[in-house]
Structure 1
Amino acid sequence: MDWIVYAETRLALGPNFVRILGYFREDGTESVRKIEDAMRAQDPVPMVDAAHSLKGESLQFGALRLSEAAERIEMTARSCVEHHDTPEEVLPLVVALRPMFEETLALLEQDSSPLIERQPQKYHHRLG
């Protein structure tokens, strides 16, 4: 995670941040599903757009590892489309994608939780 990018995005989005993070959860889940379905079908065409979307949305939140994985899938799928090939070379990455997405989402949601933000104040108040 690039926490600086994350903080900049959070600051820029202000009160809309939690809503946009919810969209990332929905859109990202859908993109991962489309990539997995395309892998099962050995069809790189739908993989391109789904991976491209996941790449951009991940990058917006500073999720570099996820964005890089999505970019590799996207570029490989594009090459497969151009060469009329199947995308089996990215199978290990596609298999790792869902756990990586869920881990990233958990980090983002944990950091954006209002409870996390209030805890230091609560503990400070008890000590004071």
Structure 2
Amino acid sequence: MNEHPTIDREKLNAIRAELGTHFPRILSYFAEDGVKSVDAIEDAVRNRDTVALVRPAHTLKGESLQFGAEALGLAAEHIEKAARDGVEAHIFPADVTEIATRLRPLFEEALAALQLAAAPTITQAPLRRAAGFGRKVG
């Protein structure tokens, strides 16, 4: 999964343009939902509950890919597909455990990159020397 960039800039720019001023608020929903999804996936893996993997992996996949968080979205997609296959076969998908251990760091990395992208650009005016404490005027 690591061969993919953290964020697909084209997708990110497209959704940012589409959402406009709502982008930071929607991103905050992604942050909240993402934490819940990662927690649920980790719990399901600990409990070896294949059925409980499907929904949070599906949610995380969709939201991640929508924001352009490719590596995270593809990891969640793999978990979702393996879980769906596992449900049909009545087994717990063994390869999900390794991916699930990398999921939280992927989420945190993607979220940090998205939050950085959402931060307003600040243009700094040149500093002026002003009279003030400890300075002579004139």
Question: TM-score of the superposition, structure 2-length normalised?
Answer: 0.85
2:106 to 83, 97, 100: 100
* 1:90 Cα offset (Å): 1.2
Larger radius of gyration between Structure 1 and Structure 2: 2
1:23 to 1, 21, 29: 29
**Superposition misfits of 4+ residues, deviation over 3 angstroms:** none
Greater relative contact order, per chain length (Cα 8 Å cut-off, separation 6+) = 2
Question: TM-score of the superposition, structure 1-length normalised?
Answer: 0.91
Root-mean-square deviation (Å): 1.1
**How much identity, in percent, do the aligned residues show?**
49
1:32 to 30, 33, 38: 38
Distance 1:73 1:32 in 2: 11
* 1:25 Cα offset (Å): 0.2
Give the conservation status (yes or no) of the 8 Å contact 1:31–1:53: yes
2:89 to 70, 83, 87: 83
Give the conservation status (yes or no) of the 8 Å contact 1:42–1:88: no
